[in-house]
A = this chain, B = another copy of it.
Amino acid sequence: MNPDALRGHMDALLLSVLEREPLHGYAIIEALQERSGGALSVPTGTVYPALRRLERIGYLSSEWATVGGRRRRTYRLTESGRRQLEGERSAWREFTGVIGSVLRAEASGPA
């Protein structure tokens, strides 16, 4: 998967994976991998800064927890983040529709 292709869609992925339940960064990476059938390997250097950015914007909130001696920062969707996720979903549908319409235009041409 070309990294550049993810540009602008990372937010949607992260918000989406947090829709069901709060998760910490490491678990988010695993969840993305799992949900994508192994196709998405998002590096930590992408995920952690992105989560902080989303928190700064107000789409996520976080709190520290210690589990088994290890420190985790658990992120949770805010109300604003939940609304944003809806927006991301419809933006995704529009995006795929638009690009798809260009890519699918038959080589034979219109009437």
Select one of B1, B101, B103 contacting A37, CB under 8 A.
B101
- Determine the main DSSP class of A at the interface with B: helix
Q: Quick check: B9 and A91 within 8 Å, CB to CB?
A: no
Q: Would you give the shortest CB distance from A36 to chain B, in whole angstroms?
A: 5
Question: What residues of B have a CB within 8 angstroms of the CB of A37 in the complex?
Answer: 98, 101
Select one of B7, B16, B95 contacting A102, CB under 8 A.
B16
Q: Quick check: A36 and B101 within 8 Å, CB to CB?
A: yes
Judged by a CB distance under 8 angstroms, whether A35 is at the interface is: yes
Question: What residues of B have a CB within 8 angstroms of the CB of A92 in the complex?
Answer: 99-100, 103
A88 to B91, alpha carbons, bound, how many Å?
Answer: 21
Q: Quick check: A94 and B39 within 8 Å, CB to CB?
A: yes
Where the two chains meet, the residues of A that have a C-beta atom closer than 8 Å to any C-beta of B are 1-9, 12-13, 16-17, 19-20, 32, 35-37, 39-40, 88-89, 91-92, 94-96, 98-103, 105, 107, 109
